[in-house]
Amino acid sequence: MSTRSILEELPATRAAIFRLLKAEGFASIGRIAEVLGVSHEAARKQVADLQKNGWIGADCPPEESDPRGAARGRPSVRYCLTAAGDHFFPKQYPALAMTLIDAIAAEGGQENLRGILARITDQRVADLEPRTAEMPLKRKMTMLRAIYRDRDPDTDVQRRGEDYVLIERNCPFLSVALERPEICSTTVSTLRRLTGCQVVRQRRFQDGDGRCEFHVRTSQNSPENAKNRFEWEPHRT
């Protein structure tokens, strides 16, 4: 679902508050009530609900040149969009990411792209390794549910025979991954380096499976010459 459709599916009053804050940068309860044509109390209730969800913040500074910031007397509390609230408006992150990937590959070929993906992998390993070092594999796999974000409710780990399987039900960069699946090599390579095992993605969003399943093959150690470096995703077997 696009960010535009999310905004349009909000109740009209809430969507109007988002658009007001986007257009003017900040607004007081009085200004919000004026634009919505409601009482101050009704506007305050809407604002409180949006604040509780982390979509708007309070005491936002005005632009220095804005005359509304120069009023005498006790200033009104000002509200503005947070970064989370701003994401209700359309973004073009996937298109930008694909443009960058294509530009990198066009300028320096696959080896240049490989270098960028290797650095991304190195950073992910550096973030996760301190939390998983010295752990037995079973416990380590539980910790690796955080490979995309901590306490990810959309990532699960199962044991299937000798394999551990990390199941990803929500890809955080799905639009890009569907068009440029080579970026998925960073996840495969990160799991391989942290577990010391061969890792194969047996189910894929790109194939219409509705999830990705990364099989960590405990009976197959990662090759010595690949344990500490990025590798392209292997073919499924």
Write out pLDDT tens, residues 117-170: 899 999 999 999 999 988 999 999 999 999 988 888 899 999 999 999 999 999
Secondary structure (H, E, C), the chain: CCHHHHHHHCCHHHHHHHHHHHHHCCECHHHHHHHHCCCHHHHHHHHHHHHHCCCEEECCCCCCCCHHHHCCCCCCCCEEECHHHHCCCCCCHHHHHHHHHHHHHHHHHHHHHHHHHHHHHHHHHHHHHHHHCCCCHHHHHHHHHHHCCCCCCCEEEEEECCEEEEEECCCCCHHHHHHCHHHHHHHHHHHHHHHCEEEEEEECHHHCCCCEEEEEEEEEECCHHHCCCCCCCCCCC
pLDDT higher than threshold 90 for residue 225: no
Which comes out higher in pLDDT, residue 104 or 116? Answer: 116
pTM: 0.67
CATH of domain 93-226: 3.30.1380
pLDDT at 127: 93
CATH of domain 3-86: 1.10.10.10
Per-residue confidence (pLDDT) for residue 42, from 0 to 100: 94
Where in the chain are the domains?
A: 3-86, 93-226
Answer yes or no: is pLDDT of 30 > 70. yes
Which one of 51-65, 96-110, 148-162 scores highest in mean pLDDT? 148-162
